[in-house]
Amino acid sequence: MVVPASRAAPSTPLSGEPDPAYDVVVIGCGMAGAVAARQLAGHRVALLEARNRVGGRIYTAGEVEGLPQPIDLGGSMIHGFREGVPTAKLITHELGMDVHVPQGAKGLVYGPNGPLAEAEATSLFATSAQNAFTPPSGVPADASIASLLFPTLKSDPRLVALARTAEIGAGVELEGMSAKYAGFEQGFKGTDGFPEGGYGEVMKNLVADIKAAGGEVRLSVEVTEIEDLGAGKGVRVETKDGRTFTAKAVISTIPLAVLQHSPPTFQPPLSPLYTAAIERMRTGSLEKIVLSYPSAWWPSPDENGSFLLLPLHDPSVPLEEAKPASLHDLFSRTVIPVSSFQRIASTPHPTLLAYIGPAAARYIASYPADEVASAFHDYLVTRLSPSAAPPAPTVKLVTEWQRDPFSRGATSTPVPLTQSKDGERASPLDFVIVSRPTWDGRLGYAGEHTDLDNHGSVAGAAISGQREGTRVKELLERLAEQEANEQGKALL
């Protein structure tokens, strides 16, 4: 259900200048941009999206791809659904959508010799939790988590493999994560929920609200230049196809990697403080492999909601050093979580989804998607060892977020071991720096990489969009009040 909103009312022009076409231009119609635009209902808003679809790094595959039910290939879960994450309220209360929380699903852990017994797996996870990394006092600024953690775990390679599962959500190897700032973020954790219909349905409802309030959503519009026209004059936005948009304020939700590698031109240039922070930050790598079958062939499909495939080789050796000889060799050297929608979906269907972490994700990017999916199916059969030959998958999907020119990867990583040309090392402060507006508030920034505690998540994108939408709304109110005061003085 979409909450109806009134159409945007006429807005007061800026003092002494022609009325800009819009109050606000939002660059990017992913979660951050859509939430910001929805927050600005009642103002003239235009969302400019470079892709030919809304959603950004949210994409829900379904009927078009031949899947029996929707599956999110980008952002997928509501982390901390029952622990107060704001996206839960947005989705359930404001958009009136249902959320599915899987209950009672079991999971199997596969070691080199097959599945671990339940007691052994439980003991392994308990030991892993006891050895969770906590930064010691006085840790060197250039120390990685791997350099301090792995020596304490090498007696059991399975503990190293479990430690590496943290890389999947982070998008970067433990060798590249700062030990000093490990765990600095205080993001939402706990219950995981799945929006019914996927996040694509969330985006559809957000866009419907925006349009109902008079906002515009323009697709296939790539921004090439953003220029500040000065106080009282607004901001000008130029696009690749030669169009010009003007507004009193602009909110940019351009992803971090795009800002690093192919940003629009900013006039005047952004501050050295901002550009140095962007230089230090990193975008992670995470890809997903989806295999849908005519029937579920894996062990106890009505009970097991997940499989954790531990590596068959020493997990402390980075893939760059191991130099895998084939895709099968690559998978055998990688810890891979696999989810079964036969057990965890609200409407069960025989589909598996594998999360491919950073090093392996970069490796598979050089292979055709069909070859990757077929190789992973073969690897699954080898590891799960079914008693009979399983059916061939009817649908094979492999994400390519690293190749997408409008994302260039997954999401921002935890604090990396990097430094900018000015010699400053990366720190949590970078997330704060890139969230600060410039040009006297006329240019603001949203997106998951601008939220310190929730970066790398849909929640971070939504929270940042709400933050900037609220800030710009207050800015417009102040501008309108100033204009009214000036008009009042002119009448005296």
Q: Are residues 89 and 158 located together in one domain of the fold?
A: no
Residue 260 lies in a domain: yes
- Distance between CA atoms of residues 47 and 24, nearest Å: 9
Q: What is the mean pLDDT of residues 386-396?
A: 96
**Host domain of residue 41:** 22-99+193-281+418-491
Residue-wise pLDDT for 430-464, tens only, equals 999 999 999 999 999 999 999 999 999 999 999 99
404 in a structural domain: no
**Residues 160, 31 within the same domain:** no
**Where do runs of H (alpha helix) occur along 272-416?**
272-280, 319-322, 327-332, 341-344, 358-364, 369-384
The domain boundary residue, chosen from 398, 426, 459: 398
3-class state of residue 469 by DSSP: helix
Q: Do 378 and 293 fall within a single domain?
A: yes
pLDDT score, position 29 = 98
Examine residue 95 and state whether it is found in any structural domain, yes or no.
yes
Number of domain units in the chain: 2
Prediction pTM value: 0.93
Q: CA–CA separation, 145 vs 175, rounded Å?
A: 6
pLDDT over threshold 50, residue 10: no
Main-chain dihedrals φ then ψ at residue 331, nearest 5 degrees: -60, -35
Q: Which of 368, 398, 428 is the last residue of a domain?
A: 398
What pLDDT is stored for residue 303 in this prediction?
Answer: 96
C-beta neighbour count of 387 within 10 angstroms: 7
Q: Over pLDDT 90: what percentage of the chain?
A: 92
pLDDT of amino acid 492: 65
Inside any domain, residue 313 = yes
The amino acid occupying position 366 is: S
The answer as to whether 295 is a domain residue is: yes
* 295 and 387 both lie in a single domain: yes
| 216/362 same-domain check | no
Mean pLDDT of 224-251: 96
Judgement on whether residues 39 and 88 belong to the same structural domain of the protein? yes
Residue 2 lies in a domain: no
Q: Which residue has the higher pLDDT, 2 or 431?
A: 431
Same domain? 393 vs 293:
yes
- Both 431 and 387 in a single domain? no
Arithmetic mean of pLDDT, 259-269: 98
Q: Residue 19 and residue 411: Cα distance in Å, rounded?
A: 37
Cα–Cα distance, 165 to 361 (Å, whole number)? 14
Q: Kindly tell me if the per-residue pLDDT of 12 is higher than 80.
A: no
| Cis ω for the linkage preceding 20 (within 30 of 0) | no
| Predicted local distance difference test score (pLDDT) of residue 250 | 98
**Co-location of 380 and 311 in the same domain:** yes
Does residue 356 share a domain with residue 428? no
Q: Does one domain contain both 91 and 106?
A: no
User: For the residues 201-213, what does the mean pLDDT come to?
Assistant: 98
The band of 11, judged by pLDDT with boundaries at 50, 70 and 90, is very low
Residue 39, domain member (yes or no): yes
Same domain? 106 vs 95 = no
Q: Decide if 409 is inside a domain.
A: no
Q: Which of 364, 398, 432 is the last residue of a domain?
A: 398
Instruction: Work out the pLDDT band at 20, boundaries 50, 70, 90.
Output: low
- Give the CATH number, domain containing residue 251: 3.50.50.60
Query: CATH number, domain at 175?
Result: 3.90.660.10
pLDDT over 70 for what percent of the chain? 96
In 276-349, beta strands by DSSP E: 287-292, 304-309, 336-340
CA distance 10 to 44: 8
